Amino acid sequence: MTVSDLSTDTTRRARTRRFVMTAPAHFAVHYAINPWMDPTVSVDVERAIAQWEVLRRTYSDLGHTVELVEPVPGLPDMVYAANGGLVVDGHAIVANFTHPERAAEADAYFAWMSAAGWEPQRTRHHNEGQGDLLVAGTTVLAGYGFRTDRRAHDEIAGITGLPVLSLELVDPRFYHLDTALTVLTDGPTPLIAYYPPAFSDGALALLRSHFPDALIVGTADAFAFGLNAVSDGRHVLLPAAATGFAGQLRDAGFQPIGVELSELLKGGGSVKCCTLEVFS
């Protein structure tokens, strides 16, 4: 679906967003740091750039601001801008990556945050930005278990002044929170969607308690990375293959926009991974 195909008849309301992206000019799969990565599978960089450009252009066509961080040679995963940090309420926190292959990305996003006028802070413990730190209303939903250290959650709470809800991930295929959960609306009672098998029993109890109206996404859509999505409150950009989740969204009053990012999925990322949102 394209922006021009969207109906204007909806009760959902979009809010203009500020996004940060990095083009996949140096994208490759030279190593395997998540179960989706296979260095023996070839990557078509030109196709990856073209697919990424459709995503960037769709955001712009919807009226959102998109700022670009220059890609750095030798950092093939830098396209997954969401992992670069968390920017919320004037606080900028740069990532502290778990794997050394990605560590230098933090310097690039630190430089962008500084140039944008923030004073970025670093956490002592590993955090992988909006891969594991999703803003839902006035709460930060924080994943841990594979990439972000649970102890970093306390640091995030101390820096931002926001409550942090810690959610344990238990399936390595859903190694970041943003692969298993997406925030669909703002406000005091945000709506989310998630895939239950990705979470521990304790995390599921928290999700059910805090978000009783959440959309529950099925296995086929979760494995299509359907929850690696971005919502402006009305339009939800998600992987084109997640057709079941798209139907759920439509039934809930949203307007899903399927985006093809098959090349970038080879690195274990899709729509949200490519999108760092600035919350102000």
Radius of gyration of the chain, Cα coordinates, nearest whole angstrom: 17
Strand 192-194 with 181-183, pairing: antiparallel
Can you name the residues that pair with 104 across neighbouring β-strands? none
The active-site residue out of 64, 126, 235, 273 is 273
CB atoms within 10 A of CB 209: 9
176 annotated active-site: yes
Q: Strands of the chain (E only): list them.
A: 18-21, 65-68, 85-88, 91-94, 121-122, 133-136, 139-144, 164-168, 181-183, 192-194, 215-216, 230-231, 235-239, 255-259, 276-279
176, 210, 235, 274: the catalytic one is: 176
> Does the annotation mark 274 as catalytic?
no
* Residues with catalytic function: 176, 273
